[in-house]
């Protein structure tokens, strides 16, 4: 049992030896990565806002009779036996039902 418990014990780790220049360079890379990820996030969020605005504009352009019906949310799930699209045409006689 002690053999299995020894696996769970933390192992002593060696201190990483990095110069101040390497640490500074790593911090700069992390900051640049964070900046680019945030920029990508902002672009994605702006795209989502634009799509929502276009959806609202399209709803407003509809006649009132269609607007009420189009603004209702549909909570119907996809049928479990729906057909999947295939990249190749079906083979004649395979599988035969």
What was the pLDDT predicted at 57?
A: 96
Q: What is the pTM of this model?
A: 0.55
- Confidence at 88, pLDDT banded by 50, 70, 90: confident
Q: Give the pLDDT confidence of 21-78 residue by residue, as tens digits.
A: 999 999 999 999 999 999 999 999 999 999 999 999 999 999 999 999 998 888 888 7
Helices (H) and strands (E) in the chain — how many of each? Answer: 3, 0
CA dihedral 61, 62, 64, 67 (to 10 degrees): -110
Buried b (16+ CB within 10 A) or exposed e, 58-88: eeeeeeeeeeeeeeeeeeeeeeeeeeeeeee
Q: What is the arithmetic mean of pLDDT over 79-87?
A: 76
In three-state secondary structure terms, 21 is helix
pLDDT at residue 16 is higher than 80: no
Q: Hey, where are the domains in the chain?
A: 21-61
């Amino acid at each position: 049992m002690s053999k299995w418990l020894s696996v769970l014990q933390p192992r002593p780790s060696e201190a990483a030896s990095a110069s101040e220049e390497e640490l500074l360079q790593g911090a700069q890379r992390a900051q640049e990565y964070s900046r680019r990820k945030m920029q990508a996030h902002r672009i994605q969020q702006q795209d989502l806002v634009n799509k929502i605005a276009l959806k609202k504009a399209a709803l407003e352009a509809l006649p009132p009779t269609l607007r009420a019906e189009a603004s209702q949310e549909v909570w119907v799930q996809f049928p479990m036996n729906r057909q999947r699209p295939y990249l190749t045409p079906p083979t004649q006689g395979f599988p035969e039902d």
